[in-house]
Structure 1
Amino acid sequence: MKIVLYFDLFGSKYENIYQYKDIYQFPKKLKNILNGNLELNFYSKNEENKFFFIENNKTNISNNIFNFLMTLFLQRKKTDICILFHVRLITFCLFIIYKLGNKNNKAFLKGDVNLKYLKDIYSNKFFFKGYLYRYLIRKTDIFFVETKECYEFLKEKKLNNIEIYSNNFDNNLLSEMNIVKKEYSQKKNIILHVSRVGTYPKNTELLLEILENIELNNWEVYILGKIEENFKLKISEFFDKNPHLIENIKFLGQITDKKKVYEYYNESKIYLCTSRYEGFSIAFTEVLIFNNYIITTNVSGAKDITNNNELGYICKREEDFIKKINILLKDEEQISKLDKKREEYIKKIFSTKHIEDKLKEII
């Protein structure tokens, strides 16, 4: 069975962290359960990407959109399952080309959407594009969403091709990287935040406002991620205003070595997400695996990853963050006592075995 992924990289440079994200992990799982051959096709204007490949899979990266689309057209009848990502115009075009004279072969679309985006699609916000997006969702053989709320919303639209695929952590990576999960008593007093620092969706301003109102004492905050140039001045101003926090808060920049990132997850106790909006963040499942207590805004996946506030905490406003963090720093038992429940929840919902078994049932 031939499984082929088509994906637009938006012109960005392909970095090795992509192979840990759902654009590779999802088709990889399909390959495993169907015992098929996997081919990866990317479009990007970035010349550096043409030297990239993932593991032993056939990987094609084109910087010419015509060649990218022509590859799909010529290979469509030799492809058993075509995997697409995101509800966008380029995805609509890929779907239409793939189905030309090829209606019997399957097209799976992993939406990577949040509830707000779906509501916009089914309102008049996108005008004609909204019609195209609704057609794409309705006509693809299986449309995968990541959260229960998105699934329930689309089921109300009387769609029968909707399935939940929760982004998960590949459990095999721990043994491959020789990482041993630490017990709570072995962890350090670290609060972790991972994002593209200073971008609008990640809302780093809120993070800084929260941190200047936290009694950190012997706790440290590690902030991982590329820092936007226009945000560096705000960081300097923050430390000018709060010089007592210089030793507690560390901006570590972008770390592309995934093993090193996992080691930070393994050492930390609390994970903060202040985003305005997200798809289902892969980081959520990664930090959950390492038994971090997740405190987050109500982004897509927050209810799923915290099991409706049982294993973490969803905040509506800045004051909620401040109050909850200060409570946890004074009473760590509220974090450690949930370790067993997290392990059970991961096994039930987010383990590789559970995800692959569910895909077998669907397909």
Structure 2
Amino acid sequence: MKRFLTIFPIAMNVHLIKDVGMIPYIMHKELDYESTLLCYKNDDYSYLEKEVKGLKIVYLKKIFHNQLFDVLLFLLFNLRKYDVLQVYQLSRVNLLLCFFCKIYSFNKRKTYLKLDADDQVLYYLPSKITKFLLKKINVVSVENQTYFDHLNLTMQLGRKIDYVPNGFYDDGVQKSLKFNKKENKIVTVGRIGTKQKATEILCKAFKKFSVHNQDWKLEIIGPIENEFKPFIANYFKQNPNLRERVTFTGPINNRELLEDYYATSKVFALTSRYEGFPLVLTEAAKFGCFIVSTDLPAVKDLIDNNHYGKVFPIDDDNYLADLFKEISNDSYQLEKLSSEFQSFAYTYFYWPEICKTIDKLLWSK
């Protein structure tokens, strides 16, 4: 049995466990790896058995109170127990960890850097030392075709990069899509009210759209930033007619309940000003939700060049309101594309298939 170690030292929470832990979890469940996640302790992780059953978690001791030194000490005594070392994001610490892994194991261990990139990677100019360290890593992957094409065309990082998108999982049971159970609802999921998520743009667009349509509702899911709460209060004060049509649910950690929101919504909206590859998009695709999003590189891959969704300019609530009107007036197209989109997502964005690609890449280099 091959042994897979994912290092993500920062304190974990349930959302990061679902995101960062998914690759090692699928490697364990579907590809017979023994998978371990190394991180600092944040809570008792009581949800692990339900969310990522079988994924081992090892708590990193804060001996030096320094991320690099704490992990290096762990690897010094434990690296022999693992065959693959995986890290997230391009950083000096992660490069040094991968280099140490190769040197200390006499090049017998595989290393994998998942860039988890956003637009900043397009402007990143690595030093000669960084390029040297990157070349020593077995697999370096990026999540969307735009970054993949750019990085390989320019050789910006001094090496070839592999394309490995993010995905979704269904515990091995694909739920049948029932469009007749979907309602005239737009749903969004994220950290509500942050500058990144631009929730106010969604609210303003829905207000303008609501003047022309009385049937559709908006459901906004996720923890709400304190700074955003005055906006919500003022929004309903100025638009009391929307109190029954716009719902702020707060965070929903129960997977079945959250999936029910996707399953009963026709449209998923993302108004982010910047993103890497948000996993909420693949969850929406899993349930055949039509995607409406800002024009982000990862979105283009998922909606197959505007076939399964529409994009709009960042911060343009007028354009978004017009898209809502256009979409709501074409119920036949929404129904036709829904099951087709789900099939497309299972073909290209299903974690077991993605992890098979990772496995092949690791052992071919």
TM above 0.5, yes or no, is: yes
AA at the equivalent of 2:263: N
Instruction: Note the C-alpha offset of 1:135.
Output: 4.6
CA distance in 2, matches of 1:352, 1:100: 31
Instruction: Note the C-alpha offset of 1:132.
Output: 5.8
How is 1:1-363 mapped onto 2 (pairs within 5 angstroms)?
Answer: 1-9=2-10, 11=11, 13-15=12-14, 17-21=15-19, 23-32=20-29, 34-43=31-40, 46=42, 48=43, 53=48, 54-62=52-60, 64=62, 65=67, 66-102=69-105, 103-114=107-118, 116-122=119-125, 134-158=131-155, 161-172=160-171, 174=173, 180-215=175-210, 216-316=213-313, 317-362=316-361, 363=363
TM-score normalised to structure 1 length: 0.87
For residues 152-180 of structure 1, give each alpha carbon's deviation from its aligned partner in whole angstroms, at most 9, with x where no partner exists.
112113455421111111132656xxxx4
CA distance in 2, matches of 1:212, 1:131: 51
For residues 89-117 of structure 1, give each alpha carbon's deviation from its aligned partner in whole angstroms, at most 9, with x where no partner exists.
33234223323333331110111102x22
CA distance in 1, matches of 2:206, 2:130: 40
8 Å contact from structure 2 (residues 169, 352) kept in 1:
no
8 Å contact from structure 2 (residues 134, 159) kept in 1:
no
CA distance in 2, matches of 1:49, 1:145: 32
For residues 177-218 of structure 1, give each alpha carbon's deviation from its aligned partner in whole angstroms, at most 9, with x where no partner exists.
xxx444212211111011101111111121122122112412
Aligned residue for 2:187, secondary structure, equals strand
CA distance in 1, matches of 2:131, 2:40: 24
Where in structure 2 are there 5+ consecutive unaligned residues? none
AA at the equivalent of 1:250: T
Instruction: Note the C-alpha offset of 1:57.
Output: 3.2
> CA, structure 1 residues 130+282, in 2 after alignment: closer, same or farther (shift >3 Å)?
farther
TM-score normalised to structure 2 length: 0.87
Aligned residue for 2:169, secondary structure, equals coil
Q: Give the number of equivalent residue pairs.
A: 346
AA at the equivalent of 1:243: P
CA distance in 2, matches of 1:134, 1:205: 40
AA at the equivalent of 2:111: A
> CA, structure 1 residues 144+32, in 2 after alignment: closer, same or farther (shift >3 Å)?
farther
Instruction: Note the C-alpha offset of 1:309.
Output: 0.6
8 Å contact from structure 1 (residues 14, 52) kept in 2:
no
Aligned residue for 1:301, secondary structure, equals helix
Instruction: Note the C-alpha offset of 1:31.
Output: 3.4
AA at the equivalent of 2:6: L
> CA, structure 1 residues 136+147, in 2 after alignment: closer, same or farther (shift >3 Å)?
farther
> CA, structure 1 residues 170+132, in 2 after alignment: closer, same or farther (shift >3 Å)?
farther
> CA, structure 1 residues 255+52, in 2 after alignment: closer, same or farther (shift >3 Å)?
closer
> CA, structure 1 residues 270+40, in 2 after alignment: closer, same or farther (shift >3 Å)?
same
8 Å contact from structure 1 (residues 181, 266) kept in 2:
no
User: Equivalent pairs: percent with the same residue?
Assistant: 23
Instruction: Note the C-alpha offset of 1:49.
Output: 5.2
Instruction: Note the C-alpha offset of 1:224.
Output: 0.2
8 Å contact from structure 1 (residues 220, 248) kept in 2:
yes
Aligned residue for 1:172, secondary structure, equals coil
Aligned residue for 2:285, secondary structure, equals helix
AA at the equivalent of 2:310: Y
Instruction: Note the C-alpha offset of 1:130.
Output: 5.8
8 Å contact from structure 1 (residues 182, 267) kept in 2:
no
Aligned residue for 2:121, secondary structure, equals helix
Where in structure 1 are there 5+ consecutive unaligned residues? 123-128
8 Å contact from structure 1 (residues 169, 289) kept in 2:
yes
**RMSD in angstroms over aligned alpha carbons?**
2.4
Instruction: Note the C-alpha offset of 1:34.
Output: 4.9
